[in-house]
Amino acid sequence: MVDYPERWSSPFTQVEMRRLWTYSDGVLTVKGYRLPGGTARAGSWVLVDQATGNIQGIVPPGEFSRRFRLVDLFGDVPGLPTYLGTVTAADGSALVDLVLDRNPFMLANGPRRAARPHALIVPRSRRDGWSSATAQELAARHTAMTLVAAWYHSMDGGHVVFGANDSAPNLDYLRDMEAAGGTLAAGGTDVAVTKNPRQDVQHAHLHAFYAERDRTENYESSALEGHPVIGAGHRAFSAALGSDAVQVESDSTRLAADIRVAAQPWGGSYCSYQLGVDGPFWVMPALGPSIDEFNRRIARADGLKAEPDPGLGGAVNLVRPSLADAQRLHAAQRATAEQRASFETFAAQHGLSARFRRT
């Protein structure tokens, strides 16, 4: 029997599961937890069943990274059906990709009942959060933000709100790769690293939320509630946040370093919020009053709900419409196809191809 740290006893709770990265060997997909120093079989990996939280087995150090890889849904963004384009460096190398979320928040809103886009900005080569990005990657990110903001504004004067749920670098997996290669140094800090519990996709990305210019009925919510549900649009948002949020300078030359400093007390993981391209840039812990309020603002803006999430220990989370219903899935697919066409038209009008050079 392995001695597990007290807070990671089996079965793992929903909250604990949300803090673990997901890995796959091509056949088995599991949550993985590396046993830290001071425990029996330190450096070995506990395999955790995603559905039950029960322990499925133990894998020795080094063998884990040879067998398992991080599940990365954004490992090939240009291959996704909702891909929009790429911001490149002057030499043509890819820096960040643009892609649509396949599940639009509002499928039938506004006077024409048009679905609104929800774009994501994804660094091409970096899984870790924007706190690890280079100045060149952050400049490309800003280029993408500016482009998305202009596209949203071209659609009925829409506004944009940016947010991210980023994790600290997955040092546990890197340590195991070093163990596999025989380069793991003895001694040093061996503190277990956990994932941001709000990050569903294990690859850094920035959400670009479309915010309506005016109050707008969410017809999906109205049908569910049996009465008109009106979203407040961009008026649901304000520039400030609560006392647990830290404002950092959004200049791309120092943004990453400032985020790392601000997020250090939270273990390196953080959430971010920025109203518009040039609004104040805030970072906050993944669990706390500020991120709860951010989710409430999104809900108020779109006529959705924000409720306590058991998987987050009761922290507030946005209740997103589901794609489980075949009819809604078909409608979402049709909406994203229309949005891709809209973006292509917008890009062509501005003399852009699918690869936008960062200036």
pLDDT above 70 coverage of the chain, percent: 92
pLDDT tens digits along 198-227: 998 889 999 999 999 999 999 889 988 999
- Among residues 124, 119, 164, the alpha carbon closest in space to that of 145 is found at 119
In this prediction, residue 3 carries a pLDDT of 39
In this prediction, residue 1 carries a pLDDT of 31
In the predicted model, what is the mean pLDDT of residues 183-193?
A: 63
Split at pLDDT 50, 70, 90, the class of 185 is low
In the predicted model, what is the mean pLDDT of residues 156-176?
A: 93
Helix axes 326-349, 135-154, angle to 10 degrees: 100
For residue 265 the two structure tokens come to 């007390």
Give the residue, 144 or 351, on which the prediction is more confident.
144
| 3-state class percentages of the chain: helix first, strand second, coil last, to nearest 5 | 30, 25, 45
- Among residues 132, 135, 166, the alpha carbon closest in space to that of 270 is found at 166
Please state, in angstroms and as integers, the Cα–Cα distance from residue 71 to each residue in 43, 48, 152, following that order: 21, 15, 31
In the predicted model, what is the mean pLDDT of residues 83-88?
A: 95
In this prediction, residue 347 carries a pLDDT of 92
pLDDT tens digits along 309-322: 999 999 999 998 88
Sketch the domain layout of the chain as residue ranges.
6-70, 77-167+202-357
Whether the Cβ atoms of residue 233 and residue 116 lie closer than 8 Å to each other: no
Whether the Cβ atoms of residue 259 and residue 269 lie closer than 8 Å to each other: no
Instruction: Sheet with 45-48: list strands edge to edge.
Output: 55-59, 45-48, 29-34, 21-24, 69-70
In this prediction, residue 191 carries a pLDDT of 65
Residue 6 CB neighbour total at 10 angstroms = 6
For the chain, how long is the longest CA-to-CA vector?
A: 65
DSSP 209-263: EEE-SS-EEBHHHHHHHTS--EE-GGGG--S---TT-EEE---TTTHHHHHHHHH
Q: Which of 51-55, 140-144, 185-189, 301-305 has the lowest mean pLDDT?
A: 185-189
Please state, in angstroms and as integers, the Cα–Cα distance from residue 275 to each residue in 258, 279, 297, following that order: 19, 5, 12
Mean pLDDT computed over every residue of the chain: 89
pLDDT above 90 coverage of the chain, percent: 66
In 106-244, the DSSP E strands lie at 118-123, 159-166, 206-211, 216-217, 230-231
In the predicted model, what is the mean pLDDT of residues 1-20?
A: 69
pLDDT tens digits along 98-117: 999 998 877 765 455 678 89
pLDDT tens digits along 29-49: 999 999 887 777 888 999 999
Q: Which of 95-99, 253-257, 272-276, 290-294 has the lowest mean pLDDT?
A: 253-257
In the predicted model, what is the mean pLDDT of residues 317-332?
A: 90
Whether the Cβ atoms of residue 312 and residue 331 lie closer than 8 Å to each other: no
Using alpha carbons only, what angle is made at residue 42 by residues 40 and 46, rounded to the nearest 5 degrees?
A: 90
In this prediction, residue 83 carries a pLDDT of 95
pLDDT tens digits along 240-272: 899 999 999 887 778 999 999 999 999 999 999
In this prediction, residue 2 carries a pLDDT of 37
Residue type, 215: R
Whether the Cβ atoms of residue 167 and residue 195 lie closer than 8 Å to each other: yes
In this prediction, residue 352 carries a pLDDT of 82
For residue 344 the two structure tokens come to 């292509």
